[in-house]
Structure 1
Amino acid sequence: MAKITGKYETIFIVNPTLEEAAATAVQDKFKSLIEENGTNVEVEDWGKRRMAYPIEDQAEGVYTLVRFESKPEFPAELDRIYKITDGIMRSIIVCLDD
């Protein structure tokens, strides 16, 4: 039987050198994108944290965790948008279903 919806979790890291307004705009962009395409959206802003290793010569990043349910096609599109968005240093999307 085909999967109708799935539970997912994503974390993305925004470059801390962006101005506060720009960083907030990037975070809001992804929050609204996920809310438009998903249901049961839970957002946790973790704030600025030190990373295990430098990325793009930065030792810190602004972390955001989002849990949501969506159709199985959406995470691939979300990942594509992460990759082409300036200001996103790293991202990961994990399926929580068994």
Structure 2
Amino acid sequence: MRNYEITNILREGNVEETKSAVKELLSKYNFTIQGEEDWGSKRLWHPVGQDEQGHFTLIKCSGSPTEVAKIEHEFKLNANILKTLVIRANG
């Protein structure tokens, strides 16, 4: 098990539903959520498609390194997730 930090930029409008979907996806791949931060809505430096605003979230979790690529792929399939960054955290 490794520790990860996942930063997502979510499309405005369906934030709570998308956050729930992200948590379900992480539990599907046996990731344990250790903490969450909601950074709120911010204007994007560059528009993503038609979206100029995004809702930023950070999830600290732990899980298997072999599952990270699968999670990133599923995030890309979700139209309500504009951008995702998964990094390995220290500790």
TM-score range, shorter chain: 0.7 to 0.9
Q: Name the residue aligned to 1:14.
A: 10
Q: Which has the larger radius of gyration?
A: 1
Q: Does 2:47 match 1:54?
A: yes
TM-score by length of 1: 0.79
- Displacement after TM superposition at 1:96 (Å): 1.7
Unaligned runs of 5+ in 2: none
For residues 84 and 57 of structure 1, the distance between their equivalents in structure 2, rounded to whole angstroms, comes to: 17
RMSD after superposition: 1.8
> Could you list the per-position Cα deviations for residues 20-45 of structure 1 after superposition, in whole angstroms to 9, with x for gaps in the alignment?
xx331111111233245222521111
Spell out the pairing of 1:1-98 with structure 2 (5 A cutoff): 5-16=1-12, 18=13, 22-35=14-27, 37-97=30-90
> Could you list the per-position Cα deviations for residues 27-80 of structure 1 after superposition, in whole angstroms to 9, with x for gaps in the alignment?
111123324522252111111111222111322101110011111112111101
TM-score by length of 2: 0.84
Identity across the alignment (%): 22
Residue-pair matches, total: 90
Q: Secondary structure at the match of 2:43?
A: strand
For residues 74 and 63 of structure 2, the distance between their equivalents in structure 1, rounded to whole angstroms, comes to: 16
- Displacement after TM superposition at 1:8 (Å): 0.5
For residues 54 and 33 of structure 2, the distance between their equivalents in structure 1, rounded to whole angstroms, comes to: 26
